Structure 1
């Protein structure tokens, strides 16, 4: 089997979960160097999800009290729960096999850089989000702020004022059932809910 940078199979030749992890881990190591991520990859665990229907990848982190993006965390301090850590706690990079199957190489590497921004934020601040700091950092490493959905949502919620789509849902929930009771983050207007399948 052909090799890519001696790190595993070429992207188009990946056939197993283990190969996807090896390829993605090797790419992330190169991206840390190329884009200047402040990330300890040794503190990142890896897994492949076959159940994910929406997220191409995700960084799973422990929930830490009083963590806030923008406030660097001193990992040498003993946390309030009294459990000492050996530096930065580990987090898990969860890769979706279905997304990998739908994405080309460029979109997959953009997705990995998006997730590296999450890892960098977590290792720096103890938490992560998609706020202004995330958007600036994602832009600086040529990563999308939001990774493309690889399956179609069952419901789309839109702002009644500007018409922008503001949320997507893949099953019935309170937000879907009572959409008009919620307000959009863009204009503060009520939401409307539609089923994209009905538009076809």
Structure 2
């Protein structure tokens, strides 16, 4: 392994990946995150404009959060999870301070951990509990201004940011917040 890149010296996409990968390895060691990094590919997205990072993964049949996935049943999986890709966004890295970027990475590690165990991931109760364990939020900080912000009527928590008109915005009365089960307000 080469010399570790200092956060303040990150200049290229390769540096973002190198620094982020090392930080995530530290999180695994210090916070007890159950992730196999040999099954994680890393990239910096050239297209992402609104999401700070994402875990790209295959959609697997009958996968459900909270139910360990039987990786043996997939041809070619050899009993181990199929690889996923942790896709990072340069604009988010540049907009966030170090604390926000670290929290973003911990958020994504929850997704990787869920995927590798359960074959899928979401932002439900299990995610929220694990995010709290890792001192991160359910939603990553915004670095682009959304056109629509939806919040929970009962507690005011952020439910979603949308950058264009969509079904959730148009038909928000049909949806409920995950936090309180309340209606959604358009802010």
Q: Normalising by structure 2, what TM-score?
A: 0.87
Paired residues of 1:44 and 1:93 also in contact (CA < 8 A): yes
Which one has a bigger Cα radius of gyration? Answer: 1
Q: Alpha carbons of 1:78 and 1:166: their partners in 2 closer, same or farther (altered >3 Å)? A: closer
Match in the other structure for 1:66? 62
Q: Does 1:97 align with 2:90?
A: yes
1:41 aligned residue (30, 37, 41)? 37
**What stretches of structure 1 of length at least 5 have no aligned partner?**
195-200
Distance 2:89 2:33 in 1: 23
Counterpart residue number, 2:73: 78
The answer on 1:14 being equivalent to 2:7 is no
Normalising by structure 1, we get a TM-score of 0.82
* Counterparts in 2 of 1:43 and 1:187: CA distance versus 1, 3 Å: closer
Q: What is the Cα deviation at residue 144 of structure 1?
A: 1.5
Q: Do the aligned residues in 2 keep the contact of 1:166 with 1:184 (CA within 8 Å)?
A: no
The match for 1:121 is 114
User: Number of residues paired by the alignment?
Assistant: 182
Q: Please say if residues 67 and 126 of structure 1, whose CA atoms lie closer than 8 Å, have aligned partners that are also in contact.
A: yes
Q: Secondary structure at the match of 1:123?
A: helix
